[in-house]
Amino acid sequence: MISYTGLFDLAGKVAVVTGGSGFLGKHFCRGLAEANASVVIVDLNAADVSAIVAEINQEHAGKALGLVADITQPAVVQKIVADAVDHFGGIDILLNNAAGKGQDLDLYFAPFEEYTLQQWREVMAINIDAMFLMAQAVGRQMLKQNRGGSIIQTSSAYGIMGPDNRIYEDSWYLDRQINTPAVYSTSKAAVVGLTKFLATYWAKNNIRVNALVPGGTESGQNEIFQHRYGARIPLGRMANAPEIVGAVLYLASDAASYVTGHCLVVDGGLNAW
């Protein structure tokens, strides 16, 4: 007899999470470990990676491996896969989650009319090029293993709809006025396109590929922004980071065994209006 709650158990599974020590990433890694998966945490900041690995291993001994790596480099991506396989024996889940703003926030938040091609390419290199590299390398490993797998790619509400720029007036984050630049929306829309392609491409191999589409999440924005954003949401507020984790666990697990090519939107109802 089927245990329906047991379908969510990730025991024996190995998950690779890029951007794994970031604001959302660390919550995803904790959730995967609590669901009994072994987790390979990939990110650029060595101190942050070490901290989340130590935290998870304290609660779930031996479940976390940290790798400090630049996933825009093909050779580095190949080594991530090799290290994960050497340490845990295979890869069953990829959470393609890393994203970036580049080195200069002034250039990142510049008006569209003044945006530089160099800045555009710098953001695209992490938001979509690295996602391609990770999906390619992990997908190749999943094909070799011949046991299927789940690939989850983090998009955004602004990858499926345009931003309401009125909410950014007098809105501050990271000690500066912010906006959603075109490069962000474009890269996150590309995530959806890549996801749908790979879902059909690898379906015959039982490799499921889905997109996680979170809405705005509280991470230090000022009250003006939170109020204006919340006014656009049927549930009346921004998300809290732990509220996104359940969607990841579902897509990673056998509970979603017949779900592929899907955009799982977790946005408080934003796209319903």
CATH number at residue 203: 3.40.50.720
pLDDT at residue 231 is higher than 90: yes
Determine the structural domain holding residue 140 and report its residue range: 10-268
Contacts of 142 (CB under 8 A, 6+ apart): 91, 92, 148, 149, 202, 205, 207
Split at pLDDT 50, 70, 90, the class of 170 is confident
CA dihedral sign of residues 137, 15, 154, 170: negative
Active site residues: 184
Residue 114 lies in a domain: yes
Residue 4 lies in a domain: no
pLDDT one-digit tens code per residue, 82-96: 999 999 999 999 999
Count of domains for the chain: 1
Residue 163: how many other CB atoms lie within 10 Å = 18
Residue 1 lies in a domain: no
Residue 250 lies in a domain: yes
Split at pLDDT 50, 70, 90, the class of 130 is very high
pLDDT at residue 9 is higher than 90: yes
Split at pLDDT 50, 70, 90, the class of 100 is very high
Average pLDDT for residues 40-57, to the nearest whole number?
Answer: 98
Contacts of 69 (CB under 8 A, 6+ apart): 42, 43, 44, 76, 77, 79, 80
Residue 3 lies in a domain: no
